[in-house]
Structure 1
Amino acid sequence: MGVIKKHDPAYAGGTNAQAAAEWIASKVAGTDRTTIVDASSIANQIAVAVSEKSVTKTLDSGKKITLESGYWLFVTNSNSTQNAVDNAGTSPIFAVVGGDALTITPKTGTPTVNKTIKNDQTDKYGKVADSQVGQDVEYELAGTVASNIATYSTYSYTFTDKLSAGIELTRINDVKVAIDGTDVTAKATIGYADNTLTVAFDNLFAAKGGINANSKVTVAYKAKLTSAAVIGGAGNSNTVALTYSNNPNTDSKGTSTSSAARDYAFKLHLVKSDKATNQKLAGAKFTIQATGADGAESNDRYVQADGTLGSDAHEFETGADGTFDVAGLDAGTYTVTEVAAPSAAGSPDAAYKPLSSTFTFTIAPEYNADTQALTNLGLTVAGNANAIAGLDTSDNNTLDADNGSAANAADGVVNVTVANEKAIKLPLTGEQGIALVMGVGLVIVAVSAVSLSRRRREED
C-alpha cells in the first residue's frame, strides 16, 4: 500500500484488497490491454511494488488458465526473458477477471537491427556490394527500440558488430552515432577489439531526450577489405546484433536476430600464349589501369601487386607457366597494356610482336538481393583480337575460348588469355641492309649495261 499512500496520504483502505482495487480503478487510467504505461505512472509503480510480493500464477502463451475472480496484474516472468532472442516482457496489464473469458495480449515489441553497405557504383546503401582491396567502404547500422519503451526507466542498448577476417575498421574515431538524426557519438561507449565493433549505451534515455517507440539509433563507420579477404564465394560478411533491456522494471537483457551485409572482391588470372602453338610464354609484362571503376575515386589508378590501387603503374610479369594472378579487384572495367612482349626461347632469329593496342576487361557480378549470394560472374574483353575472355586449351592455330571458362563465381576468378604472334627476323634488316642489297643490284645493272654496250660496239 506504499504506492497508494504516497500518492494519496488520506487513503484509509489499509490492506483490504477490495479497497485497493477500487482506489486503483478510480485513480489509474490508461491500463487497458493496449495502452503502454509510462515508467513514472502510478500503474507502473504499483506493478513494481507488487510483482514480487503477490500470490502469482504462471500463464503460458496460447494456453488457458482459470483464475479467481478479482483484480489481476499481468507481467512477464524475468526468467523467461533473460538472454532470450527476439523476446521481450510486457508493460504491466491490469485487468478484472471474472465472468466472460479474458484474452491477455502482451503490450510489448522487440527491437530490430539492419546492417547495410554503400554500393560505390549506385551510391546507395543495400545488403551487398563489391570493392577493391584497400578501398574505404561505408557501412550503416540501424536499430529500433521496443514499442513499450515508455515503461522502462532505464534502457540498455548495445550494437555488437562482428567483422569477418578479411575486413578491418579503418579508424575508430570515424565511427558516428545518432538517435533520430541527432549526433550522440560523445554519449556512446565505442570499442574495437578482436575485429568486433561495439557501440553501447548503459541508458539510452541519458543520451537524448524525447526517445519514443518510433526512435531509431544509427551507427555509421568505414571499413576496408584486406589481403585476407575472401575472393568470390560467400563474400566477406559483417554481422551485427543488438543487446537491449527486454523486461520493464527488471535488469533482464536479450538479443535481436542478427543482420549481415556482404562485400565481394574478385581475381584476374591472365594467361600468355603463342597464338600458333598455344605454348605458354614467360616474361611478358603488363600494366592494369582502372578506367571504368565502380567508384569515381578509383578511376585512372593502377592496380598494384597486392590488388590495391596506386598512382604508379605496376608491371605484372608472366611466370614460367605463362600466367600471373592478381586478387582483390572490384567490379568494373580495367585497361591492360602490354609493355614488353615475351622472347621466343631457343630461337634467336625469332621474336614475338607486342600487342598492337591495349585491351579492356570488365568484371560484372550479379547478386541475389535476399540471400546476398553471388549468383553469376560476367566477363567481357574488348579492344584487341588477340585478347579473349576465357581459357584456350586447343592447339589449332586459333584463339578460341573453351566453353564456360571465362569466369568462375565460386572462386571469384575471371580468366583472360592473351596471345602473341612471332615476327621472323631476316638475316639482313634495317635501312643499311636494304641499302646494301639495293646498291649491289645497281652495280649488277651497271655492269650488265656496260657489257651490253661493249658487245654492240664489237658487232658494229
Structure 2
Amino acid sequence: MKAISSSITKVVALIAAMIVALGTFGLAAAHADGYDTNTIADPDANGTITINRVSGDTQTRSFNGYRLASLKDVKTDSTGTALGSFTVETNGKYTQVIETVMGQITDTSTGKTLLDGYKANAWYYNTSVTPNINNPLGYIAATYGSVAETAEPWGGDNADGAKDTVMRQFADKLSAALAADTTTYPADADLKIGSNTVPQGLYLITETTNLANATDPGITGAAVNSAPMIVSTTYLLKDTAGNEATITTGVGTINLKATSPTITKQLTNGNTVYGDAKANPDFSIGDEVDYELTATIPSYTGYDIDTAGTDNTKARVLKIYDVAEPSLTIGSADSVTVTVTPDGSSTATTLVKDTDYTVETSTDSDSTDSYKGGTKTVINLANYVNMRAGTVSAKQGTVASGGTITVTVKATLNSKALESVSDASTKTPIKNKTSLGYSHQPNKVTDEHVQPGGEVNVYTYKFQITKKNREGDTLPGAQFAIKNNADGKYLTWTAATDTDGKNGTWGTLADKPTAAAQTSAAPADQSEPNAKGIFYSGADGTVSLNGLKAGTYTIEEIASPSGYLNINALLPSFTVTITPTYEQDTSTNPYANDAAKKASWGDYSATGLTISNSKDSHDLGLVTASTSNSGKVDVTNVTSVTQLPKTGAAGIAFFAIVGVALIGAAALFAVRARKARQAV
C-alpha cells in the first residue's frame, strides 16, 4: 500500500468539512515519512465520531454509518497530538460498489471516468500481484482529496452552476447505491447526535431522519437532511514503550449544517392592539386583516444549485404557502412584503418582488373543507435560494441559511364572512393557514417537503333588534342609525353586487343620517337606505346587524313606523356591547421559553362572548335587555304617552313641555277673552 501524501489527507477535510461541516475537523498535513512518536496499535480498535447539531435544532436525528476504509501505519506529527501519516485501506465489503460508482463519474480534466483512472494506476489497482491490490478509496483520496470549495454551496454545484465536484458526486452516488441495496450493504453503525463509539476508520455517514415522523415536543418544523459525509474517527495510538494516546485533533467531530426549518404565523392588527403584536382577532366586514409569516431559511449545505434558472433538476426549493378561507380576500401580489434577516443579525433586507421571489395567487379548488374556494398564495423564493442574477443572495455571495424570512400578507374580511358570523352560542372562526415547502434531501434537491405552520383565526360578530308595539306585535318600517362608539361615526352598509357575494362592506358617515318619511313597511330594496346609514325594521320587525367587530355601538331610532309617536324624546336610544373572551393559541407560538414574546403573539381563539345592552337613554322602559346573552334586543314603540311602560326623565320633560304649552294656550285664551269683552 502507498502512504498517502499531503493531498490525500485532505479527503477527510474536504469530503466532510467542505461538503458539510465547513472545516471543523480537517486533518493536519501528512508526511510520507511520518514520525516515530506514536503508531496505531489496532486498526479495529474503537474510536469515536461526535455529531454536533446546529444551535437551536432539537430534532431527533438518526444516521447510518458505513465503514469504507481503515487506516494503517498511522503515525502522529511531531507534536504527538495530530495525525502525521497513514495508509488508507478500502474495506473489501465496499470495493465493488465503490468501483461501480467510480464508473459513473467523469473527470472533466481528462475526459475519463474515475474507474478508468483508478485501474490505470498500479499503486491502487493491480491484479497481477498476489494478493491483488484493490484500493479504490485510496485512489479517490490521493487523486481528488485536494479539490476544495471555500464558499457556497459547499460541495454542491459551484456557484456558477458548474458541475458538481468529484467529491460531491462520489459521496452522493455512493450514498444512493448503498441505500438501493440494503441487503448487500447494511449499515455498519447506527449513529445519533452526540458521541458514537465505532471501530476506527473512514465512514460514509448518511442521515436517515424521517421527515414524516419529525414530531419531537417543541418542534414546529421538520428536519432538512444533511448531505452525505465521509468522516474520520478518532484514533487510539501506542508508542514503542506501550504508552497510549487518543488522537482527536482535527478528527472525529462533525458540525452539522442540517436544520429544522419552521414556519409560524400571527395576526399583527386587530380591534385593539396591546404591545407590539398582540391583537384582538375581531373585524368588521371590509376591514383590513394583516398577517405576519415567519420562516427559518433551511441550510442548503451540500445541496445542488441552479443559478442560471435553466436546470430544474438542480433547483433548490423554498416556498411559503398562505391559504385563506373564502371570507378573506387576498389583494394583489403587492400586498405581500418579504424581508430576510441573517441568523444572529437584527438587520433585515427587503427582498425585491420578481427578482428575489415571485407571488402567485389562485383559487383553492383542491380543498374539501372550509378552504375550498378560498385564495391560495404561493411566495416562491427559488430565485433567492438559487442565488440567481440580481438577487440579494447573489450580491451578498451567500444564502442566509438559518436566518429568517418574514412575509407580510394583507387581506380584507369580505362579505362572504356573513356566513361565518359568531354569536354567544356559536363562535365560528374565519381561518387562514400557512406552510413551508423546501428541499430536504441532498440527492433529490427538487423533492419538496411541505411543513404545516398552523392556523390563525379571526372573528366577526352580530346582534339583532326586533321592533314591537305595546302589545308585542312586530313592527316593520322603523328607522335606525348605528354609531360605533370607538370613533363616533355612523355606519353604512353597501350590499354585495358581485356574483360570489364578497364585495359588500361596512362604511361610515361623519354625521348622523336624516330620517326619511314615516312608513308602515321597510323598502322592498333596503340597499339604498342602508348605504345612507338608515336601517329599516323588516316585515318581521327585525334589523340584523351582522359582520361587526367587538365593541360598543349606539342604536338610535330616528323614525318610528307610521301610526306611532315620532317625537324625539320618545324614540329609544341605547347601546349594545359585544365582549368576546379570547384564549391564546399556543400551538403556533414559537416563544415557549420567552414569556414576554409569548404573551404578545397574535394568535387567539374565541372561548366566550357576552352581548349586553343598556336601557333606553330616557329610561322609559322601551328597551328590553337581551335574554340569555342572545344578542337579540326588543325595542318598543307607542301610539300615545299613556302607553309608556314607565315615566322617566324624558317623560317628565315631555309632560313639562305639554304643561307649558297648555299654560301658554290658557293665557292666550284669557287675553283673547278680555279683548272680546272689551270689544262688546
State the alpha-carbon separation in 2 of the partners of residues 214 and 127 from structure 1.
28
Give the C-alpha shift of residue 315 in structure 1: 0.6
Give the C-alpha shift of residue 51 in structure 1: 2.4
State the alpha-carbon separation in 2 of the partners of residues 82 and 5 from structure 1.
39
Kindly indicate whether the alpha-carbon contact (under 8 Å) linking 1:359 and 1:387 is maintained by their aligned counterparts in 2.
no
Asked if 1:370 is matched to 2:602, the reply is: no
Asked if 1:185 is matched to 2:309, the reply is: no
Asked if 1:75 is matched to 2:289, the reply is: no
2:431 is aligned to 237
Question: Which amino acid in 2 is paired with 1:362?
Answer: T
What secondary structure does 1:228 align onto? helix
Question: Which amino acid in 1 is paired with 2:324?
Answer: L
Identify the match of residue 50 of structure 1 among 162, 166, 174: 174
State the alpha-carbon separation in 2 of the partners of residues 384 and 93 from structure 1.
78
1:316 is aligned to 535
Question: Which amino acid in 1 is paired with 2:353?
Answer: T
Kindly indicate whether the alpha-carbon contact (under 8 Å) linking 1:365 and 1:377 is maintained by their aligned counterparts in 2.
yes
Identify the match of residue 460 of structure 2 among 253, 256, 265: 265
1:92 is aligned to 228
What secondary structure does 1:48 align onto? helix
2:370 is aligned to none
- Per-residue CA deviation, residues 124-164 of structure 1 (Å, 9 max, x unaligned), is 44586111111222222221122x33332333111221110
State the alpha-carbon separation in 2 of the partners of residues 343 and 61 from structure 1.
86
**Measured at CA, do residues 386 and 211 of structure 1 come closer, stay the same or move farther in structure 2, by a change above 3 Å?**
farther
Asked if 1:351 is matched to 2:547, the reply is: no
Question: Which amino acid in 1 is paired with 2:551?
Answer: G
1:300 is aligned to 489
Q: Where in structure 2 are the equivalents of 1:52-201 lying within 5 Å? A: 52-53=176-177, 56-57=185-186, 70-76=201-207, 86-95=222-231, 108-120=258-270, 121-122=272-273, 124-125=276-277, 129-146=281-298, 148-154=299-305, 155-180=316-341, 181-187=349-355, 188-194=357-363, 195-201=375-381
Give the C-alpha shift of residue 263 in structure 1: 1.7
What secondary structure does 1:308 align onto? strand
1:284 is aligned to 478
Residue identity over aligned pairs, in percent, reads: 22
1:455 is aligned to none
> What is the aligned residue count?
410
1:458 is aligned to none
**Measured at CA, do residues 399 and 339 of structure 1 come closer, stay the same or move farther in structure 2, by a change above 3 Å?**
closer
Give the C-alpha shift of residue 325 in structure 1: 0.4
State the alpha-carbon separation in 1 of the partners of residues 577 and 283 from structure 2.
14
**Measured at CA, do residues 356 and 3 of structure 1 come closer, stay the same or move farther in structure 2, by a change above 3 Å?**
same
- Per-residue CA deviation, residues 280-326 of structure 1 (Å, 9 max, x unaligned), is 33221011122305xxxxx6252315451143641111123221102
Give the C-alpha shift of residue 257 in structure 1: 2.0
- Per-residue CA deviation, residues 87-126 of structure 1 (Å, 9 max, x unaligned), is 43223233457999x9999763231111222223217445
Structure 2 unaligned regions, length at least 5: 1-101, 126-133, 159-164, 179-183, 215-220, 237-251, 306-315, 342-348, 364-374, 496-504, 510-530, 587-603, 643-657
Give the C-alpha shift of residue 442 in structure 1: 7.7
Give the C-alpha shift of residue 20 in structure 1: 4.9
What secondary structure does 2:301 align onto? helix
Question: Which amino acid in 2 is paired with 1:224?
Answer: T
State the alpha-carbon separation in 2 of the partners of residues 435 and 18 from structure 1.
121
State the alpha-carbon separation in 2 of the partners of residues 264 and 139 from structure 1.
14
1:205 is aligned to 386
Asked if 1:219 is matched to 2:433, the reply is: no
Give the C-alpha shift of residue 443 in structure 1: 5.5
**Measured at CA, do residues 128 and 196 of structure 1 come closer, stay the same or move farther in structure 2, by a change above 3 Å?**
farther
State the alpha-carbon separation in 1 of the partners of residues 135 and 619 from structure 2.
94
- Per-residue CA deviation, residues 166-206 of structure 1 (Å, 9 max, x unaligned), is 11112223322222232232222211110211111335232
Kindly indicate whether the alpha-carbon contact (under 8 Å) linking 1:171 and 1:222 is maintained by their aligned counterparts in 2.
no
State the alpha-carbon separation in 2 of the partners of residues 202 and 219 from structure 1.
15
State the alpha-carbon separation in 1 of the partners of residues 106 and 279 from structure 2.
50
Asked if 1:401 is matched to 2:520, the reply is: no
1:339 is aligned to 558
State the alpha-carbon separation in 1 of the partners of residues 325 and 627 from structure 2.
35
State the alpha-carbon separation in 1 of the partners of residues 559 and 106 from structure 2.
89
Structure 1 unaligned regions, length at least 5: 31-35, 294-298, 345-349, 389-396, 408-413, 451-460
Kindly indicate whether the alpha-carbon contact (under 8 Å) linking 2:290 and 2:411 is maintained by their aligned counterparts in 1.
yes
Kindly indicate whether the alpha-carbon contact (under 8 Å) linking 1:178 and 1:185 is maintained by their aligned counterparts in 2.
no
Question: Which amino acid in 2 is paired with 1:401?
Answer: A
Deviates most, 82-91 or 362-371: 82-91
What secondary structure does 2:267 align onto? strand
State the alpha-carbon separation in 1 of the partners of residues 619 and 392 from structure 2.
60
2:635 is aligned to 418
Asked if 1:379 is matched to 2:611, the reply is: yes
1:410 is aligned to none
State the alpha-carbon separation in 2 of the partners of residues 4 and 360 from structure 1.
82
Deviates most, 262-271 or 3-12: 3-12
